[in-house]
Amino acid sequence: MSAEEIHVQGIPASALADRFGTPLFVYDTEILENTFRTLREELPEEIDIFYSLKANPNISVCAFLGTLGACAEVSSYTELLTALRAGIAPSDIIFLGPGKDERELAACVEAGIHAVVCESMAELQLLDELLEGSGGGTFPAMLRVNPAFAAKGSGLSMGGKPRQFGIDEETVRRSKEQLAALQHVEVIGLHAYMGTRILDAADVVHNTRRILATAEDLAGELGIPLHTVDVGGGLGVAYFDGEADPDVAALGTGMRDAVIPFTRRHPGCRVIMELGRYLAARAGTYMVRARYVKQSMGEWFVVADGGTNHHMAAVGIGSFVKRNFPVQHLSRPGGQADRRYSLTGPLCTPNDVVAKKVTLPQVRPGDLLGVERSGAYGPTASPGLFLSHGFPAEVVVHRGEAHLVRERDTPEDLLSRQQLADFSGEGHQ
Ligand SMILES: *Cc1c(COP(=O)(O)O)cnc(C)c1O
């Protein structure tokens, strides 16, 4: 395989780059499907898998996961529209986020989604007021709880400390009267999200147990039903040396043990796991083309046509030491890897380093490089407008065919949103 370039479902990397240009995100549906199906088989059927669009809001990625049976967790008006247009049933959508506005809440009601996950008592009130004129019936809401305990296993933990998210467990405990006073909102359950990038299945299981116990406890105390409990998720994927992907079989066994006794006590309760990174990350490759290959004070640099403007996550997540996403030489993967390169982009900042001192086969200008496991928190979580480069193209490869699912921004796209103010009276003679 030494001379052969990387293929995606039989399509050579160079063919994708030539047809769609670079920088380019390529999503492989085989990997999306394997990831989803394996997880689905391992998790108990009591758990519904919701895809967190935040990780990758591309409508085709969402639609494909939907065909596999994923529901959707959205956090903005546009994400809600995306999920609906992607064909996710309204009853399989939840909306969460700390700053929902009236338009978003009204859209949830109009669409008839499964539930709004409310993150403050004020939001519950607002939803109740909005429903005032909407004529009969109640609308389902869940309470996002900020648990009194901290998460296990997450570098970016969301519970057990002061947070803008959710309602403190203590506050929820004292909210019985406020909940009883709601006229049009029916609280149908609880939600907690403990953090992201958790690699040890045992930690996810541990968090789940605590969330289910807290939900049971709170529901009993407040006299609310448990129709739905969302246990978050936060399942990670391995990016860096020394990391391993979560053990999905162990996750399945642990979740079975945690969830089945719970659903026996609460028959019909919908248990939700919401996952973004785990479902999307491994399916995506950020493909860039080497423009210049140069040396500075003894170190080699590959300056590529795309950098952290589309892949901010590669700069490093919650770490002071730069750790590298997996990088592949797509044009000559089998070549002898004997030189260390820093992979940088077109931005005029020294921070535009996608990978630092990675060992690769020799890189020449024009070669294609791929940052792997980049299907989550890519372009939409990056400063794509920095230096006015705009968004890269996105391509889905499905059954051996490549489909453009997002056009790259053109200079005209980027300029068309600006207005040139009239300074004609300001001339200096
Ligand atoms: C970001 C987020 C998710 C998705 O997190 P991943 O780690 O990508 O799975 C799910 N739920 C909430 C509340 C989030 O903020």
Position 1 scores a pLDDT of 44
pLDDT digits (tens, 9 = 90+) for 310-355: 999 998 765 667 899 999 999 999 999 999 999 999 999 999 999 9
- In short, whether 153's Cβ falls inside 6 Å of ligand 1 is no
378 part of a folded domain: yes
Protein residue whose Cα sits closest to atom 12 of ligand 1:
193
- Residue 74's SS3 state is strand
Burial class (CB in 10 A: 0-12, 13-18, 19+), 289: buried
Concatenating the DSSP letter of every residue in 79-132 gives HHHHHHHTT--GGGEEE--TT--HHHHHHHHHHT-SEEEE-SHHHHHHHHHHGG
d(CA 280, CA 29): 10
Residues 217 and 337 in one domain: no
Residues 152 and 299 in one domain: no
- In short, whether 275's Cβ falls inside 6 Å of ligand 1 is yes
131 part of a folded domain: yes
* Phi and psi torsions of 84, nearest 5°: -65, -45
Residues 120 and 73 in one domain: yes
Tokens at 111, concatenated: 């669409």
- In short, whether 344's Cβ falls inside 6 Å of ligand 1 is no
Position 149 scores a pLDDT of 81
Tokens at 7, concatenated: 């293929």
Domain end residue (candidates: 250, 279, 308): 279
d(CA 358, CA 341): 5
d(CA 202, CA 18): 44
* Phi and psi torsions of 292, nearest 5°: -130, 145
425 part of a folded domain: no
Pocket test for ligand 1, best of 35, 39, 49, 52 (most atoms within 8 A of CB): 52
- Global pTM? 0.96
d(CA 423, CA 362): 52
Protein residue whose Cα sits closest to atom 14 of ligand 1:
193
Residues 12 and 69 in one domain: no
Residues 246 and 346 in one domain: no
Q: What is the CATH number of the domain that holds 223?
A: 3.20.20.10
Residues 265 and 325 in one domain: no
Residues 169 and 102 in one domain: yes
Residues 15 and 76 in one domain: no
Residues 256 and 385 in one domain: no
Dist. CA 421 → ligand 1 center (Å)? 41
Position 220 scores a pLDDT of 96
d(CA 328, CA 140): 47
- Residue 15's SS3 state is helix
Concatenating the DSSP letter of every residue in 336-403 gives -EEEEEEEE-S-SSTT-EEEEEEEEE---TT-EEEE-S-SSSSGGGS-TTGGG--PPEEEEEETTEEE
Position 2 scores a pLDDT of 45
Tokens at 400, concatenated: 């051996």
Residues 153 and 203 in one domain: yes
- In short, whether 230's Cβ falls inside 6 Å of ligand 1 is no
Domain end residue (candidates: 241, 260, 279): 279
- Residue 19's SS3 state is helix
Concatenating the DSSP letter of every residue in 24-67 gives EEEEEHHHHHHHHHHHHHHS-TTEEEEEEGGG---HHHHHHHHH
* Phi and psi torsions of 99, nearest 5°: -125, 40
Closest CA to 270 of 92, 72, 48, 50: 48
66 part of a folded domain: yes
Q: Which atom of ligand 1 is nearest to the CA of 52?
A: 4
Domain carrying residue 385:
7-25+282-416
429 part of a folded domain: no
428 part of a folded domain: no
Residues 348 and 252 in one domain: no
pLDDT digits (tens, 9 = 90+) for 155-181: 666 667 888 999 999 999 999 999 999
Amino acid letter, 94 = I
- 8 A C-beta contact, residue 313 and residue 324: no
Residues 252 and 333 in one domain: no
Position 156 scores a pLDDT of 62
Q: Which atom of ligand 1 is nearest to the CA of 376?
A: 8
Q: What is the CATH number of the domain that holds 405?
A: 2.40.37.10
Concatenating the DSSP letter of every residue in 220-276 gives HHHT---SEEEEEE-B----STT-----HHHHHHHHHHHHHHHHHHSTT-EEEEEES
d(CA 379, CA 27): 13
pLDDT digits (tens, 9 = 90+) for 189-240: 999 998 899 999 999 999 999 999 999 999 999 999 999 999 999 999 999 9
Domain end residue (candidates: 257, 279, 301): 279
- Helix 121-130 / helix 102-111 crossing angle, nearest 10 deg: 60
Position 317 scores a pLDDT of 63
Dist. CA 200 → ligand 1 center (Å)? 16
Q: Which atom of ligand 1 is nearest to the CA of 197?
A: 7
Strand partners, 24: 287, 393
Spell out the per-residue pLDDT of the chain, length 429, in tens. Answer: 445 999 999 999 999 999 999 999 999 999 999 999 999 999 999 999 999 999 999 999 999 999 999 999 999 999 999 999 999 999 999 999 999 999 999 999 999 999 999 999 999 999 999 999 777 789 999 999 999 887 777 666 666 788 899 999 999 999 999 999 999 999 999 999 988 999 999 999 999 999 999 999 999 999 999 999 999 999 999 999 999 999 999 999 999 999 999 999 999 999 999 999 999 999 999 999 999 999 999 999 999 999 999 999 998 765 667 899 999 999 999 999 999 999 999 999 999 999 999 999 999 999 999 999 999 999 999 999 999 999 999 999 999 999 999 999 999 999 999 999 999 988 766
Core vs surface per residue 2-33: b (16+ CB within 10 A) or e: eeebbebeebbbbebbeebebbbbbbbbebbb
Position 154 scores a pLDDT of 67
When divided into structural domains, the chain yields a total of 2
Position 12 scores a pLDDT of 98
2 part of a folded domain: no
What CA dihedral angle connects 54, 40, 89 and 231, to 10 degrees? -60
Position 337 scores a pLDDT of 95
424 part of a folded domain: no
